[in-house]
Amino acid sequence: MPQLKESPSQTAGPYVHIGCTPQMAGLEARAMGPQLGERMVLGSPTGDRITLDLHVFDGAGDAVTDALIEIWQPTPQGQFTGDDQFCNWGRQATDLTSGQAVFQTLKPGAPVGQAPHILVWIVARGIGLGLTTRIYFPDEDNADDPVLALAGDRAATLIARKTAGGYAHAVHLQGPSETVFFDV
Amino acid sequence: MDDTPFAPRDFSVHPPPLWPDYRSTHLRAPQQPLLQMPQTQTEMTGPTFGHAALGPLDSDLIVNYAAAGQSAQGPRILVHGKLLDGQGRAVPGKLIEVWQANAGGRYRHVNDGYLAPLDDNFGGCGRCITAPDGSFAFRTVQPGPYPWPNGGNDWRPAHIHFSVFGDGFAQRLITQMYFEGDPHIARCPIAQSIPDAAALDRLVARLDMDRTVAMDIRAYRFDIVLRGRQATVFENKPQGT
Ligand SMILES: [Fe+2]
């Protein structure tokens, strides 16, 4: 079998919204299907509804206002297969002014052999290859998670903060509190 | 689901995080190396999309934003190719999304203030699901090159942005397609951030006269390769024992 090399990655650029979150680009009048990934809670699924409030910061401490964030997570039962009530995948752009990205989702359960977590994938202008990180929860037992353990003394950069309605998390692209990004 | 893990990522084909000639990387490139981790179920799985998620005109950018009876301005092109995995096998049923500037190099975006005018009949967003043989096709207009703020007299080669899903999130890819013969490719710090000239060349679509329709539309061929899986290990059992 021939081995083909992966196509090279290129930055999503500052106009990623046109393709991935079209209404943020002012394309609301377009005659296309619905925006994908906007809603994760589709019906009345079993589980705890949470608001996940994300920010991405650059090396100067400024909020990144042109990032696209995708999340992929298990159901509250720890499964990666959703149904007509819940979609395990969500996609939001950071707000063009504030840099905030808000996901309405369900608190994930623990997949086999891992603590509850959410995969986070970030692309933006200035990012040549999408960055993969994770979010863990401060109110879960993370002691035996094999991935979090690899992060050692930087593990705190992967743990969200509890808020009134769910969790908040800041991703730092560079600097002293730089988030752990994975080579998966 | 295929449980074979993905092969380790070959970073020699991808831009490094920091590329000094591309100014936006300066404050956005992580300074720590990526932390290697074993693949888990989280990275081996990913979302699936059906045709029901798309509208009937999603793959036709010539008309999907146009008024009734109108079409977008610019050279009409058919962009087509195959989505393949690392073993060269077709990857069917995957979502591909594209976005691009119009024929004048202007994006329909609140943050794009370039001099070139918007086209009332062009939005610049397209989507499709790969066919059973891994093929995909978009009808669109050839985008124009455009200037961008990078500290100098920088112009992007004409390009179409591509977002591609695979079987697992470890294969998720965003890239750009360029056009054969564009002199801006050699001058573009974003294209040139790809460390391997042969790898960059695989992002350059070729004029395809076989699919070009006389008196209608020119075709460009662009194949996309997703990260492959680890080679299957066969037990080498002697015959007849
Ligand atoms: Fe672009």
Tell how many helices (H) and how many strands (E) occur in chain A: 2, 9
User: What is d(CA A58, CA A16) in angstroms, rounded to the nearest whole number?
Assistant: 18
Residues of chain B below pLDDT 50? 235, 237-241
Q: Which pLDDT tens digit goes with each residue over A146-164? A: 999 999 999 999 999 999 9
pLDDT of residue A18: 95
Maximum alpha-carbon separation in chain B: 76
Residues A161-183, mean pLDDT to the nearest whole number: 98
Q: For residue B221, give the 3-state DSSP assignment.
A: strand
pLDDT of residue B237: 46
Facing residue for A174 by CB, picked from B29, B84, B227: B29
Q: Ligand 1 (ion): which residues have CB within 5 A? A: A 13
Give domain B61-225's CATH superfamily. Answer: Aromatic compound dioxygenase (2.60.130.10)
Chain Cα centroid distance, residue B162: 3
pLDDT of residue A35: 86
C-alpha B153 – ligand 1 centre gap (Å):
16
pLDDT of residue B183: 98
How many other C-beta atoms lie within 10 A of the C-beta of residue A151? 21
pLDDT of residue B240: 44
Does A82 have pLDDT greater than 90?
no
User: What is d(CA B241, CA B237) in angstroms, rounded to the nearest whole number?
Assistant: 8
Facing residue for B10 by CB, picked from A6, A70, A134: A6
The β-bridge relationship of strands A67-72 and A89-93 is antiparallel
A158 touches chain B (CB under 8 A): no
Q: Which pLDDT tens digit goes with each residue over B142-185? A: 999 999 999 999 999 999 999 999 999 999 999 999 999 999 99
Q: Which of residues 69-98 of A touch B (CB under 8 A)?
A: 70, 72, 74, 80, 87-89, 96
User: What is d(CA B158, CA B160) in angstroms, rounded to the nearest whole number?
Assistant: 7
Query: Choosing among A11, A64, A135, A158, which should be mutated to test the B contact, i.e. which has the most B CBs within 10 A?
Result: A11
- ipTM score of complex: 0.96
- Residue A69 vs residue A33, higher pLDDT: A69
Give the burial class of B11: count Cβ atoms within 10 A of its Cβ; 0-12 exposed, 13-18 middle, 19 or more buried: middle
Catalytic residue among B159, B178, B220, B229: B159
Torsion of CA A171, B191, B39, A135, to 10 degrees: 10
Closest among B140, B184, B180, B195 to B162, alpha carbons compared: B140
Closest among A89, A116, A147 to B39, alpha carbons compared: A147
Ordered by where they begin, the domains of chain A are: 16-172 (2.60.130.10)
pLDDT of residue B189: 98
Going by the DSSP 8-state scheme, the letter that residue B29 receives in this structure is S
Contact B29/B18 with Cβ under 8 angstroms? yes
User: What is d(CA B19, CA B21) in angstroms, rounded to the nearest whole number?
Assistant: 6
Residues A10-36, mean pLDDT to the nearest whole number: 83
